């Protein structure tokens, strides 16, 4: 259930980001069940999750002070989201306060590792939100992969065109622009020493995360160094495919206004269909409680003129070329039948005292809808009982 967060004075970017993370089940469940979390940011985030689970829509919650990156000043929602995820990631890895290390500075969405680099310690935050891209240059003459760069990311920052020239801009076209090949001029291969012109620099996804954060880069600096906002309308689909993976939108942060003064709101998907918009009517006033508005359908959410950051979860639908495994229930039924046949074979000669006899398996009880433990010896006894019943039936 969506809960209104209390505004602490220009904290709409923080509140909108927190609303999206509160509705990320794997993340919120982990923090709610973990009672030994260390770190100031992680502990304040855990308290917020627990309070939201105990409350209802008529109750407001005030986020803890350690969750703020720049108290009292306006913040960019995407930068705040990266600050928070990086702080949580570091505190879960190292078990101490990382707020000072990430405070008041933009956090890069990824890190670069050269080919052959060592493994990087991971946390649950990285497991949920972290993906990886690979960029490479290949010499067309000797096929040498001269430069391979691996970069991890927690957010894809997609370019937004300044002018549409009457055309509809889609999220898919922004993704294609982000992943398109770059052409480099006057490049020299380090292996064969040949000079190449118009060499292709390719980028591909090595790993896509369970929850994908997509940021539309709507702010840019003009020739004078002033920041301006790109208000290009972009068609945001509820479902999108990237490199064969399907993602469904469940959290959307919108920005209204210009680069100097703006306001962030969040739209959250609850359950399978209901969307709610969460907003402060007076974002400058501290103490105001976010208002919850029920949206009649997803289009009311997706037609927002200025979508800024979207969070999507990977669908569990069958992916192209994927072979679905046999269901767990079928596997265990099949295994139970195999063990029963094995018991029938061993029954005539008796059992030896082996580990196989006492290994506990599980078979589904269709009536009780639960798993019933059994051992191979119990399966043999059941086989004997069925055989005796069959013999009595044949005599009758």
**Comparing 52 with 95, which gets the higher pLDDT?**
52
Does the structure show a pLDDT above 50 at 17?
A: yes
**Mean pLDDT over residues 152-169, rounded?**
82
What is residue 70's predicted lDDT score, i.e. its pLDDT? Answer: 63
What is residue 275's predicted lDDT score, i.e. its pLDDT? Answer: 83
Mean residue pLDDT across the chain? 72
What is residue 151's predicted lDDT score, i.e. its pLDDT? Answer: 93
Instruction: Identify the weakest region by mean pLDDT among 165-169, 336-340, 361-365.
Output: 361-365
Structural domain boundaries of the chain?
12-314, 328-395
Does the structure show a pLDDT above 80 at 263?
A: yes
- Report residue 188's pLDDT band, with 50, 70 and 90 as the boundaries: confident
Does the structure show a pLDDT above 90 at 157?
A: yes
- Tens of pLDDT, residue by residue over 351-383, are 344 433 444 444 344 334 344 444 444 545 555
Neighbours of 187 (CB within 10 A): 18
CA-to-CA dists, residue 125 to 114, 143, 236, 282, 290, angstroms = 23, 38, 26, 32, 26
Does the structure show a pLDDT above 80 at 303?
A: no
What is residue 396's predicted lDDT score, i.e. its pLDDT? Answer: 43
What is residue 359's predicted lDDT score, i.e. its pLDDT? Answer: 40
Percentage of the chain lying above the pLDDT 70 cut: 60
Fold of 12-314: Cathepsin B; Chain A (3.90.70)
**Comparing 264 with 163, which gets the higher pLDDT?**
264
What is residue 289's predicted lDDT score, i.e. its pLDDT? Answer: 59
Nearest by Cα to 278 from 14, 19, 7, 6 = 19
What is residue 304's predicted lDDT score, i.e. its pLDDT? Answer: 65
- Report residue 190's pLDDT band, with 50, 70 and 90 as the boundaries: confident
**Mean pLDDT over residues 276-301, rounded?**
61
Does the structure show a pLDDT above 50 at 385?
A: yes
pLDDT winner (highest mean) among 132-136, 164-168, 188-192 = 132-136
- Tens of pLDDT, residue by residue over 56-85, are 544 567 787 788 766 556 678 999 999 999
Does the structure show a pLDDT above 80 at 296?
A: no
* pTM assigned to the model: 0.70
- Report residue 253's pLDDT band, with 50, 70 and 90 as the boundaries: very high
- Tens of pLDDT, residue by residue over 211-244, are 999 999 888 877 777 888 888 888 888 899 999 9
What is residue 362's predicted lDDT score, i.e. its pLDDT? Answer: 42
- Tens of pLDDT, residue by residue over 112-125, are 444 444 444 578 99
Percentage of the chain lying above the pLDDT 90 cut: 23
């Amino acid at each position: 259930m969506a809960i209104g967060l209390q505004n602490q004075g220009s904290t709409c970017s923080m509140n909108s980001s927190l609303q999206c993370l509160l509705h990320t089940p794997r993340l919120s469940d982990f923090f709610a069940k973990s009672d030994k979390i260390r770190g100031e940011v992680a502990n304040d985030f855990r308290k917020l999750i627990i309070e939201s689970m105990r409350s209802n829509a008529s109750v407001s919650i005030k986020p803890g002070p350690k969750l703020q990156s720049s108290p009292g000043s306006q913040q960019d929602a995407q930068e705040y989201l990266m600050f928070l995820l990086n702080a949580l990631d570091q505190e879960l890895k190292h078990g101490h306060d990382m707020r000072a290390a990430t405070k008041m500075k933009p956090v890069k969405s990824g890190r670069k590792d050269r080919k052959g680099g060592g493994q990087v310690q991971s946390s649950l935050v990285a497991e949920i939100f972290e993906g990886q891209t690979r960029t490479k240059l290949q010499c067309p003459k000797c096929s040498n992969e001269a430069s391979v760069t691996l970069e991890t990311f927690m957010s894809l920052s997609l370019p937004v065109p300044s002018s549409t020239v009457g055309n509809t801009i889609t999220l898919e076209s922004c993704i294609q622009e982000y992943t398109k090949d770059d052409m480099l001029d006057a490049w020299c291969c380090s292996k064969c020493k040949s000079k190449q012109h118009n060499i292709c620099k390719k980028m591909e996804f090595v790993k896509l995360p369970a929850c994908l954060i997509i940021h539309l880069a709507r702010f840019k600096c003009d020739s004078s160094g002033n920041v301006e906002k790109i208000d290009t309308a972009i068609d945001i689909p509820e479902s999108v495919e990237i490199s064969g993976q399907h993602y469904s939108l469940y959290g959307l942060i919108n920005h209204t206004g210009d680069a100097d003064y703006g306001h962030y709101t969040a739209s959250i998907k609850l359950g399978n269909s209901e969307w709610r918009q969460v907003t402060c009517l007076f974002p400058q006033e501290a103490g105001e409680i976010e208002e919850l508005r029920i949206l009649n359908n997803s289009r009311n959410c997706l037609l927002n003129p200025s979508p800024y950051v979207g969070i999507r979860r990977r669908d569990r639908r069958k992916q192209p070329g994927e072979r679905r495994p046999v269901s767990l229930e079928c596997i265990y039924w099949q295994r139970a039948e195999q063990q029963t046949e094995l018991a029938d074979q061993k029954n005539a000669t008796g059992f030896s005292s082996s580990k196989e006899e006492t290994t506990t398996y599980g078979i589904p009880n269709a009536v009780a809808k639960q798993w019933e433990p059994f051992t191979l010896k119990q399966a043999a006894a059941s086989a004997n009982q069925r055989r005796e019943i069959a013999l009595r039936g044949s005599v009758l």
